[in-house]
Amino acid sequence: MDKVELETAVDPIALFRAWLKDAVAREVNDPDAVALATATPDGVPSVRMVLMKRLDEGGFCFYTNAESQKGSELAVNSHAAMCFHWKSLRRQVRVAGTVAELPDEDADAYFHSRSRLSQLGAVASQQSRVLASREMLVERVKELEQKSPGEISRPDYWRGYVLRPERIEFWKDGEGRLHDRFLFSRNGDGWRKERLFP
């Protein structure tokens, strides 16, 4: 999407889809990778990379262990932010809003679309807790594989989330640091668009 389309876009979701399509075509690895920032009720932030698995009218969807640090933080403070950075395209998108859990059926469907090893790993991992050794994790996966020769059940703590955007900012590199920045903010059922200084 070129500068003219960036400047004239009125729907940030449509603009994001166009940028993501470019990233899928041109980024070497994980164009759907995004930095997800959460915080404690006291405002202590933490950030990590996750994969955005779906974008719909509800927002930006991802999946994780609800007992992980991010899951625990989201349970008590639903405010979160994301930052997509496509280095080779020299573009980034920042998203801020609140996070809600997706329905169990959605989490089930995505969990069972993953490879068997990924399912086993999700069940075996006590995400964000101290692990004595890698060998211990590998052994947990082997034991689980032997106990569960058929379908792996999605554990209750493995859930889907959607970040419902209140603000979406698009940044595009410009010569001499004269970057283009546009901020879309929720305005009733629509969006207010503003150009920002770089």
pLDDT in tens, 167-194: 999 999 999 999 999 999 999 989 999 9
Classify 108 as helix, strand or coil: helix
- Candidates 134, 140, 159, 177; catalytic one: 177
- Nearest one of 46, 8, 7, 31 to 92, comparing CA atoms: 31
Q: Is residue 77 part of a domain?
A: yes
pLDDT at 126 over 80: yes
Residue 7 domain flag = yes
- What is the rounded distance in angstroms from the CA atom of residue 145 to the CA atom of residue 109? 20
pLDDT of residue 127: 86
Is 58 a member of any domain? yes
User: Looking at residue 128, what is its pLDDT?
Assistant: 85
To the query of whether residue 177 is one of the catalytic residues in this protein, the response is yes
Residue 149 confidence class, pLDDT cut points 50, 70, 90:
confident
Answer whether residue 45 is part of any domain: yes
d(CA 38, CA 45): 6
Residue 2 has pLDDT above 70, yes or no: no
- For residues 72, 32, 185, 37, the Cα torsion angle rounded to the nearest 10 degrees is 30
**124 lies in some domain:** no
Q: Token match 């994001």: residue?
A: 16
Residue 195 backbone dihedrals phi, psi, to 5 degrees: -85, 140
Q: Which CATH number covers residue 76?
A: 2.30.110.10
Round to whole Å and give the CA distance between 122 and 26.
Answer: 30
Q: Are 186 and 194 a contacting pair, CB within 8 Å? A: no
Q: What are phi and psi of 190, to 5 degrees?
A: -120, -155
For 89-98, write each residue's pLDDT tens digit.
999 999 999 9
What integer pLDDT is reported at residue 107 of this predicted model? Answer: 96
Residue 95 domain-assigned (yes or no): yes
Does residue 134 lie within any of the structural domains? Answer: no
User: Cα(105)–Cα(134) distance, rounded to whole angstroms?
Assistant: 32
Convert 101-151 into a string of H (helix), E (strand) and C (coil): ECCHHHHHHHHHHCCHHHHHHHHHCCCCCCCCCHHHHHHHHHHHHHHCCCC
Residues in the chain: 198
Contact 176, 194 (CB under 8 A): no
Q: Is the pLDDT of residue 4 over 80?
A: no
Q: Is residue 1 predicted with pLDDT exceeding 50?
A: no
Identify the residue whose tokens are 């101290």.
Answer: 130
Cβ atoms of residues 6 and 168 within 8 Å: no
Q: How many domains does the chain have?
A: 1
pLDDT of 65 reads 94
Binning pLDDT at 50, 70 and 90, where does residue 43 land? very high
Express each pLDDT in 62-83 by its tens digit.
999 999 999 999 999 999 999 9
pLDDT of 155 reads: 94
The per-residue pLDDT for 86 is 97
DSSP state of 105: H
Token pair in block for residue 119: 């399912």
Tell me which residue range forms the domain holding 10. 3-111+156-196
pLDDT band at 3 (very low <50, low <70, confident <90, very high): very low
pTM of the complete model = 0.91
- Per the domain annotation, does 140 fall within a domain? no
